[in-house]
Amino acid sequence: MLEHDVIIVGGGLAGCRAALEIAHTDANLSIALIAKTHPIRSHSVAAQGGMAATLNNVDTEDSWEAHAFDTVKGSDYLADQDAVEILVREAPDVVIELEHMGVLFSRLPDGRIAQRAFGGHAHRRTCYAADKTGHAILHELVNNLRRNGVHIYDEWYVTELILEDTQAKGVVMYNIQTGKIEVVCAKAVMFATGGYGRAYNTTSNDYASTGDGLAMSALAGVPLEDMEFVQFHPTGLYPVGVLISEAVRGEGAYLINSEGSRFMANYAPSRMELAPRDITSRAIVREISAGRGINPDGSAGGPFVYLDLRHMGQEKIMSRVPFAWEEAHRLVGIDAVYQPMPVRPTIHYSMGGIPVTTDGQVRSSLSGLIDGFFAAGEAACVSVHGANRLGSNSLLECVVYGRRTGAIIAQYLQNRKLPTVDEQRYVTATQQQIQSLLDRSGTIRIDKLRREFQDCMTNYCGVFRTEKLMREGLESLQQLQQQYQDIYLDDKGKLWNTEVIEALELRNLMIVGQLILTSACHRQESRGAHCREDYPDRDDTNFLKHTLAYYSPAGIQVNYLPVQITMFQPQLRNY
Ligand SMILES: Cc1cc2nc3c(=O)[nH]c(=O)nc-3n(C[C@H](O)[C@H](O)[C@H](O)COP(=O)(O)OP(=O)(O)OC[C@H]3O[C@@H](n4cnc5c(N)ncnc54)[C@H](O)[C@@H]3O)c2cc1C
């Protein structure tokens, strides 16, 4: 059995930042970081637009209080305001710290870090490295990991969280290259496993965003918080769904319908294209439904609208958002200097997740905590984003709460003993689980079932929702879950058997989907990204609270957690 003081699952920004903090606090600790990809291929590397912090380099009127207010209003008042305060107050410090580690942020002519406008932020406060911000930060963090002696297990797929008697004791993992199964025992376990964009058929997320950490937690009896809040990013490139960063609108691009009009004037007149994502995504879907979308031949009535950069000019496009230009050119053959880009909403971000305190400790219930279990980043819900995240607040969350959780873990580990784990029991159970997948003589291909599941989530739990639609979705999902018993794998071998991984990921995605649909059915109001056509208004009397959904194979139980309101009372939210 492998043993470490702490295991971090996830090599994105949150996991790497936590690992570094632990190493800096106590160089004698044995830290393991496990990732199913190489850490540098974590989805964080794809983050483009930037990271918010009130450095006041461009906008001297900005303040942490203003950042907090924008975040809470953006969240439709569901964010926990104590957690938001920590996020925005620590923001300038974490940016400077990253810079000192070697991250190359874009600059103003006088050499200070540049800052740009972003949706829902009333001031120009987003720091960036052109439109490759995640790449710039993640590469530096991973380099620093190696220098600090963090043990990296890359291309190991974690299959199970070992949680016994409300204590996390380790994980079971499967080596993708060799098929070997190992139990890793530790005094503390942290999940930083990212989001679940692959639960939908069109997403900006990478192939690894399959909600594994969420499903493993749910299977171990941990509740999941606010799963109904799924973020649609307004500008996915049509038809591929790949993200065109909000930075493009931050730098001045327009959204145009088939009549050539900037339709955001009808939805968010004061913020126009820089309204928050929930509002902008709904506006685009409404324009398309009203017949003002555009077809590939340019005629009206089609499935997308235009993102128009042409007035920005070649020099600005190529210096500020070169990657967006390159993506459109490479993937759909559009030269954005001369042609508008076809866009429509795409699944982007998971506001909900594993419920944690502001110290990153995982909750077992309304008041209980799980000993030795921590989470941060997109997989966690500390709730700084509430019902709708503002762009450039997620990288910030990963770094602020990654650092904070790392510091707490380093303290927690002092004077702790390694727990005892029955290694053989876990190895045997995992071997049997994988063997039963290999032995299946069913008729359904994993890829087909996954596509049907993704269509189910997209059709029944999309931008607009109703009770009837979601009930149909749950029924359809139940049938698909039954069909899972009937899948078959072509590859029966041990080496690089990626079909085994796909099968395990699909099981996880389906659990996540069931939690999303069930939580969404229970929330009978419209708030942030959760828009119910049968309950069009926000209902603070009955639903100003967080959902906690407990999974079991027999069904899902829903409970609620109060919202922390310390600074701003809920108000009408318009822009
Ligand atoms: C295209 C795109 C652009 C974005 N741009 C921005 C932006 O400009 N600003 C912003 O603030 N936010 C942005 N976001 C959101 C932000 O990038 C993510 O929310 C954030 O990077 C998530 O980081 P993370 O550390 O939580 O997880 P990730 O970076 O997703 O990493 C997850 C890690 O977990 C590992 N893992 C998962 N499951 C397992 C398993 N079973 N076993 C082993 N390892 C596992 C993966 O291998 C990976 O290493 C963007 C997101 C996308 C998709």
pLDDT band at 106 (very low <50, low <70, confident <90, very high): very high
Q: How confident is the model at residue 348 (pLDDT cuts 50, 70, 90)?
A: very high
Distance of CA 394 from the midpoint of ligand 1 (Å): 9
Average pLDDT over residues 417-439: 97
210-244 pLDDT tens trace: 999 999 999 999 999 999 999 999 999 999 989 99
Report CA(42)–ligand 1 centroid distance (Å): 6
Mean pLDDT throughout 394-421?
97
Q: Which tokens hold the place of 395?
A: 């990288």
- Mean pLDDT along residues 95-117: 96
Nearest CA to ligand 1 atom 14: 47
Residue 527: DSSP 8-state: B
Cβ atoms of residues 530 and 517 within 8 Å: no
pLDDT, tens digit, for every residue of 289-308?
999 999 999 999 999 999 99
Percentage of residues of the chain with pLDDT beyond 70? 100
Average pLDDT over residues 323-337: 96
Q: What are phi and psi of 336, to 5 degrees?
A: -65, -10
126 Cβ below 6 A of ligand 1: no
Look over the chain and give the mean of its residue pLDDT values, rounded to a whole number: 97
H/E/C letters for each residue in 383-438? CCCCCCCCCCCHHHHHHHHHHHHHHHHHHHHCCCCCCCCCHHHHHHHHHHHHHHHH
pTM of the model: 0.97
Tokens (6 digits) for 516: 């999303």
- Residue 24: its H or E element: helix 13-25
Q: How confident is the model at residue 142 (pLDDT cuts 50, 70, 90)?
A: very high
What does 312-361 look like in DSSP terms, one character per residue? G-HHHHHHHSHHHHHHHHHHH---TTTSPEEEEEEEEEES-BEEB-TT-E
- Residue 323 forms beta bridges with which residues? none
Bridge partner list, 151: 32
pLDDT at 544: 98
Phi, psi of 510 (to 5 degrees): -70, -35
Query: What band does 483 get if pLDDT is binned at 50, 70 and 90?
Result: very high
pLDDT band at 327 (very low <50, low <70, confident <90, very high): very high
Ligand 1 midpoint to CA 452 (Å) = 25
Helix (H, G, I), strand (E, B) or coil at 503: helix
| Active-site residue (options: 271, 277, 320, 532) | 277
CA 540 from centroid of its chain's CA atoms: 26
Q: Does the beta carbon of 133 sit less than 6 angstroms from any atom of ligand 1?
A: yes
Phi first, then psi, for residue 370 (nearest 5°) are -95, 125
Distance in angstroms (rounded) separating the CA atoms of residues 199 and 202 = 9
Omega within 30 of 0 (cis) for the link into 239: yes
What is the rounded distance in angstroms from the CA atom of residue 330 to the CA atom of residue 480? 35
Report the distance separating Cα 528 and Cα 141, nearest Å.
33
Q: What is the whole-number distance in angstroms between the Cα of residue 353 and the centre of ligand 1?
A: 13
Ligand 1 atom 21: the closest Cα is on which residue?
44
262 included as an active-site residue: no
Mutate to test the pocket of ligand 1, among 128, 232, 374, 395 (most ligand atoms within 8 A of CB): 395
CB of 544 within 6 A of ligand 1: the answer is no
Return the pLDDT at 391: 95
At a CB cut-off of 8 Å and minimum separation 6, what does 50 contact? 116, 118, 126, 127, 128, 129, 133, 247, 392, 395
